[in-house]
Amino acid sequence: MPPQMKPGTTMMRNALKKYLVSDSKPPVIRLSEQQNLTSRFQNRRQLSTSSRGTSVFSLKKEGKYGFTKLDDYEVVKSIGIGPLLNAAAIGKGAYGEVVEAVHKRSGDAVALKIYAKSRMADKTRKANLLREVRNLEAINHPNVVKLYDCIDDVSKNVVMVMEFVRGVSLKRYASARRLSEKEVAHLFRQIVSAVAYCHSKGVAHRDLKLENVLVTGNGTVKIIDLGFSIWTQRGQKVKILCGTPAYMAPEIIKRYEYDPQLADIWAAGVVLYYLLSGTFPFKGGSPEEIGKSIAESKLAELDSNKVSSGAAELVRAMLTADPSHRFTAFAALQHPFLSGGKS
């Protein structure tokens, strides 16, 4: 049997094409070449100080520092092309360049997520960014990265001023050692709490995965990268290919219309499975086999000698093939594995 393929790779995406929707795929803003971002901001006189409220990207209300402009921030260093990761944990698959900066007046560290306007000529790409800004503006939860401001420098860039998170991706954190169930419950409770909050606001993330969750030094979780997030009414269904193949729910794989909030729950279930076992729940010797396993919901059973029955029960409830019978985020929070035995 050939070696097992890594979920989320380009090879896997190509192999899954026959299972996935080929039309209405959200465009991907390609990564640019790494640039010297610090030098880009050295000449502060070139940065726009235009009045607020003239850009569609401007926040509707003042953020943490009020309405700011780019020269209110001093760039510290480039932290790579990645979704708010520090220099030690630069990730892949970003939608903009990111620099670490300091808000001059307060001295606070922030992350500046920079979208070049030259890459937003396509109306759909622009709409995706606007949706990210609006959804983040509506969210205020301790386990979701915060948006402080959004600055349109008129000619070149749209810059999102965001909370700077000093941490590593959950994938890196969980791969370093086997986690106890107590620690898994602690981390996953925060994830589900954030997801439940977002869903209560009508926001579905649509790309939940280990790489889009950061863990700080004190064990606090931060969900990041809402670039594919969408606002939906309860029960509303969509039919757009979105997310990472290994985390896609079977209804997406099988080209059905789907509830994006329930697709989030499936993706969260994949995360929980990995935290408990160190592996992904759907196996195969090739990308085609993995895609078929997901489409047919052939869930690999967790080792009962290593995983408690309660934890395994929650995994099954979140990875239920029929979305109408799948747990919601609120139901998951009430499960004894996350509620400490209180249901």
Residue 7 belongs to some domain of the structure: no
Could you read off the pLDDT of 248-273 as tens digits, one per residue?
Answer: 999 999 989 999 999 999 999 999 99
Active-site annotation, residues:
207
**181 in the same domain as 59:** no
CB atoms near residue 300 (< 10 Å): 13
**222 in the same domain as 157:** no
**Confidence at residue 29, expressed as pLDDT on a 0 to 100 scale:** 28
79-83, 98-102, 294-298, 332-336: range with lowest mean pLDDT:
79-83
With CA atoms as reference, report the closest residue to 205 among 165, 254, 246, 263. Answer: 263
**299 in the same domain as 182:** yes
- Looking at residues 156-160, what average pLDDT do you find? 88
User: Could you tell me if residue 267 is left (phi over 0), alpha (psi between -120 and 50 degrees) or otherwise beta?
Assistant: alpha
Higher pLDDT, 97 or 342: 97
Residue 3 belongs to some domain of the structure: no
> Which among 132, 163, 194 is the end of a domain?
163
| pLDDT above 90: residue 186 | yes
**139 in the same domain as 216:** no
**Confidence at residue 86, expressed as pLDDT on a 0 to 100 scale:** 37
Higher pLDDT, 207 or 288: 207
* Mean pLDDT across the chain: 80
**Confidence at residue 9, expressed as pLDDT on a 0 to 100 scale:** 54
**Confidence at residue 52, expressed as pLDDT on a 0 to 100 scale:** 47
Could you read off the pLDDT of 164-179 as tens digits, one per residue?
Answer: 999 999 999 999 989 9
| pLDDT above 60: residue 20 | no
Task: Give the confidence band of 156 by pLDDT, cuts at 50, 70, 90.
Answer: confident
**Confidence at residue 35, expressed as pLDDT on a 0 to 100 scale:** 33
**173 in the same domain as 221:** yes
In the sheet that holds 147-152, the strands lie side by side as: 73-78, 97-103, 109-116, 157-163, 147-152
5-14, 212-221, 230-239: range with lowest mean pLDDT:
5-14
**245 in the same domain as 259:** yes
Residue 8 belongs to some domain of the structure: no
- Looking at residues 195-211, what average pLDDT do you find? 96
Between the alpha carbon of residue 48 and those of residues 68, 73, 112, 149, the distances in Å are 11, 13, 16, 15
In the block, tokens 């969750």 appear at: 213
44-48, 210-214, 231-235: range with lowest mean pLDDT:
44-48
**302 in the same domain as 156:** no
**Confidence at residue 6, expressed as pLDDT on a 0 to 100 scale:** 52
| pLDDT above 70: residue 157 | yes
Residue 91 belongs to some domain of the structure: yes
**186 in the same domain as 206:** yes
Q: Which domain holds residue 104?
A: 37-163
**324 in the same domain as 180:** yes
Residue 9 belongs to some domain of the structure: no
Between the alpha carbon of residue 89 and those of residues 25, 29, 171, the distances in Å are 29, 21, 10
Residue 11 belongs to some domain of the structure: no
**Confidence at residue 54, expressed as pLDDT on a 0 to 100 scale:** 56
Higher pLDDT, 338 or 35: 338
**Confidence at residue 97, expressed as pLDDT on a 0 to 100 scale:** 77
Residue 311 belongs to some domain of the structure: yes
Q: Which residues contact 167 (CB under 8 A, 6 or more apart)?
A: 86, 89, 214, 215, 216, 217, 220, 222
CATH label of the domain that carries residue 239: 1.10.510.10
Does residue 76 contact residue 160 with C-beta atoms inside 8 Å?
A: no
**Confidence at residue 15, expressed as pLDDT on a 0 to 100 scale:** 45
> Which among 116, 146, 163 is the end of a domain?
163
**136 in the same domain as 21:** no
**Confidence at residue 76, expressed as pLDDT on a 0 to 100 scale:** 84
**Confidence at residue 110, expressed as pLDDT on a 0 to 100 scale:** 94
CATH label of the domain that carries residue 137: 3.30.200.20
Residue 93 belongs to some domain of the structure: yes
- Amino acid identity, position 293: S
**Confidence at residue 60, expressed as pLDDT on a 0 to 100 scale:** 81
**325 in the same domain as 178:** yes
**HSE-up of 134 (CA within 13 Å, CB side)?**
17
Higher pLDDT, 84 or 157: 157
Count of the separate structural domains present in the chain: 2
**229 in the same domain as 322:** yes
- Looking at residues 98-114, what average pLDDT do you find? 91
| pLDDT above 70: residue 233 | yes
Angle, in degrees to the nearest 10, between helices 260-277 and 181-200: 170
**Confidence at residue 3, expressed as pLDDT on a 0 to 100 scale:** 47
Higher pLDDT, 46 or 65: 65
- Looking at residues 22-30, what average pLDDT do you find? 31
> Which among 163, 181, 209 is the end of a domain?
163
